Amino acid sequence: MQIDSTAVVDTLTQAYSDVWAGQESLQEANAFIAFMYSNDLIYVVLGVTLIIWSVLLFFMIRVDKKVASLEEKLNSEEQ
């Protein structure tokens, strides 16, 4: 009793066709990352990200201080 090998291949192709279709975009992403590394642009991206996080942290600390001062002001007015 022999198994038809084309039927097995067709089953695998149907089952994993969406996964294999995504490999093209993965290769494009890897090419983009390789381009960024080759031109040292990855450090520019990391620097911009660090600046954004720093600004967000500064903003959150500033808002926290303002809220704390408003809470103290309200507590002093209640007494």
Which pLDDT tens digit goes with each residue over 12-64? Answer: 666 666 555 555 566 677 777 777 777 778 888 888 999 999 999 999 999 99
pLDDT of 6 strictly over 70: no
The pLDDT score that the predictor gives to residue 8 is: 52
The pLDDT score that the predictor gives to residue 41 is: 81
The pLDDT score that the predictor gives to residue 53 is: 98
Q: Helices 23-38 and 42-78: crossing angle, nearest 10°?
A: 90
Ranges of each domain in the chain: 1-39, 41-79
Report the SS3 class of residue 4. Answer: coil
Q: How far apart are CA 35 and CA 31, in angstroms?
A: 6
The pLDDT score that the predictor gives to residue 24 is: 57
The pLDDT score that the predictor gives to residue 54 is: 98
Q: Using CA of residue 57, residue 60, residue 66, residue 70, what is the dihedral sign? A: negative
The answer to whether the CB of 36 falls within 8 A of the CB of 42 is yes
